[in-house]
Copies of this chain bind each other. A is one copy, B any other.
Amino acid sequence: MFKETFQRYLTMVEQSLAQLPWDKDSLNESMYYSLIGGGKRIRPVLALASAEAVGGHLQDILPAALSLELIHTYSLIHDDLPAMDNDDYRRGRLSNHKVFGEAQAILAGDALLTYAFELLATPGLGRPERQLRVIREVAVAAGKAGMVGGQVADVAGEGKTLNLDEIEKIHKAKTGALLTVSARLGGILAGGTEPQVEALTEYAQALGLAFQIKDDILDVVGDSETIGKPVGSDLRQGKSTYPSLLGLEGAERQMHTQIQKAQSALKPFGTGATFLNELAYYIEQRQH
């Protein structure tokens, strides 16, 4: 049942991304290249599942859910640039700047970020006041106090030994904020109550942390072909990670605690949140 629901969300996301009005020029091509290059689509899936958990209709929030994947994709393109992480591969394919050149990769990222806000402002996604609230929240989560700020802190932290609090703070900003707002977006646009939106927030915050710990773990024990990028890059870049601070077992335990926290936040929804509950388990078990 989990697999079928996941597949339903995934198909919806993949088809809708492909069907956006892509022009036939090199900029659109470069945006599309990275957007359609695989990926787990966790953010839009989280948004769709959260909307259904509060009883909403998926079609009403779909463009907003897609915007989250555009923002995630732009951040990957810019993170991979030579001036940043200098990664030649992403999801098992050449990274954007290796295919289209640095200038266009920067611009493809810029255009994806901008397009995300166009999608978020699509007419008729729920009540206008809610939609404006969501736009604000997404901008905050993706911006200087969220994702971009976290990336700056991450780059600044390379080669330094960080403690657990510092790592957690970076993760919360760099990946946690956008994951959290994904769940909130679904809940808010679909008309969830404030307690429901709060429960989704708590869930997504714990899930996001677990997701990041798992990323760190996979960078140590994962299979590079399954992950689609070389393993051990954190170690080579001198990054402090959960495994480097807690050991592998300690990191696994920490991740499990977060998964349990995420699942217990869903209790108010009862069976309405079965998928989200199983999604947490899926995150814990994922191999890439």
A107 adjacent to B152 (CB under 8 Å)? yes
A128: chain B residues at CB < 8 Å are: 128-129, 131-132
A84-B103, A103-B155 given as contacts; is B118 within 8 A of A143 (CB)?
yes
A114-B143, A149-B111 given as contacts; is B78 within 8 A of A106 (CB)?
yes
Q: Mark A7-30, 1 if CB is under 8 A from B, else 0.
A: 000000000000000010111100
A15-50 residues with Cβ-Cβ distance < 8 A to B are 23, 25-28, 31
A106-154 residues with Cβ-Cβ distance < 8 A to B are 106-107, 109-111, 113-115, 117-118, 120-123, 128-129, 131-133, 135-136, 138-140, 142-145, 148-149, 151-152
A111-B149, A135-B135, A148-B27 given as contacts; is B83 within 8 A of A106 (CB)?
yes
A81: chain B residues at CB < 8 Å are: 103, 106
Listed residue (A74, A78, A102, A152) with the most chain B CB atoms within 10 angstroms of its CB: A152
Taking a contact as CB atoms closer than 8 A, the residue among B110, B133, B135 that contacts A117 in the complex is B135
Interface check A104, CB cutoff 8 A: yes
Interface check A156, CB cutoff 8 A: yes
A110 adjacent to B149 (CB under 8 Å)? no
B121 adjacent to A139 (CB under 8 Å)? yes
B27 adjacent to A114 (CB under 8 Å)? no
Q: Give Cα A26 to B156, complex, Å.
A: 10
Q: A23-B144, A25-B149 given. 5 additional CB < 8 A pairs?
A: A83-B101, A83-B103, A83-B106, A114-B139, A115-B143
- What are 17 A-to-B residue pairs whose CB atoms are below 8 Å? A25-B149, A27-B144, A78-B106, A83-B101, A106-B106, A110-B148, A111-B143, A113-B114, A114-B144, A115-B144, A117-B135, A117-B138, A118-B139, A118-B140, A121-B132, A121-B136, A135-B135
